[in-house]
Amino acid sequence: MAVVGIILLLFVCAGAMGPSDPFPVGYSMGNLNTIISDDGIGGRQPWVPAAVIRRNTGFVLAAGAVSYYDMMDNIRDRGIYRAALGVSYAGPVFKCKGAFSQFDAFRMYFSQDGYLSAGLGGVSLEMAGHRIGLRGKKGEVKTIGELGASVWLPFRYASLFLGVEHVVVKESRNGSDPPLLIKGSMHTAGNRFGAQGVLIEVTPSKRKPVRFLIGEEYRLFRWLGVHAAVGSNPVLISLGVVAEWKMAGAVLSFVNHPELGWSKGFYTEYVAGRFNEMRKK
**Structural domains of the chain in order of their starting residue, each with its CATH number:** 2-280 (2.40.160.40)
Q: Determine the average pLDDT of the residues in 69-76.
A: 51
Tens of pLDDT, residue by residue over 245-266, are: 989 999 999 999 887 788 999 9
Tens of pLDDT, residue by residue over 170-207, are: 765 555 678 899 999 999 998 999 999 999 999 999 89
**Is the pLDDT assigned to residue 4 strictly greater than 50?**
no
pLDDT score for 1: 42
Q: Determine the average pLDDT of the residues in 113-129.
A: 96
- The rounded mean pLDDT for the chain is 86
Sequence letter at residue 272:
A
pLDDT score for 227: 98
Q: What are the beta bridge partners of residue 67? A: 81, 264
Q: What does the angle CA 255 – CA 257 – CA 261 come to, to the nearest 5 degrees?
A: 90
pLDDT score for 139: 62
> pTM score, two decimals?
0.85
Q: Which of 24-33, 78-87, 168-177, 236-245 has the lowest mean pLDDT?
A: 168-177
* CA pseudo-torsion sign 32, 229, 154, 211: positive
Q: In a 10 Å sphere around its CB, with 0-12 CB exposed, 13-18 middle and 19+ buried, how is residue 155 labelled?
A: exposed
pLDDT score for 279: 44
**Is the pLDDT assigned to residue 70 strictly greater than 70?**
no
Q: Determine the average pLDDT of the residues in 80-96.
A: 94
CA distances from 40 to 44, 52, 136, 140, 142 (A): 7, 10, 42, 41, 36
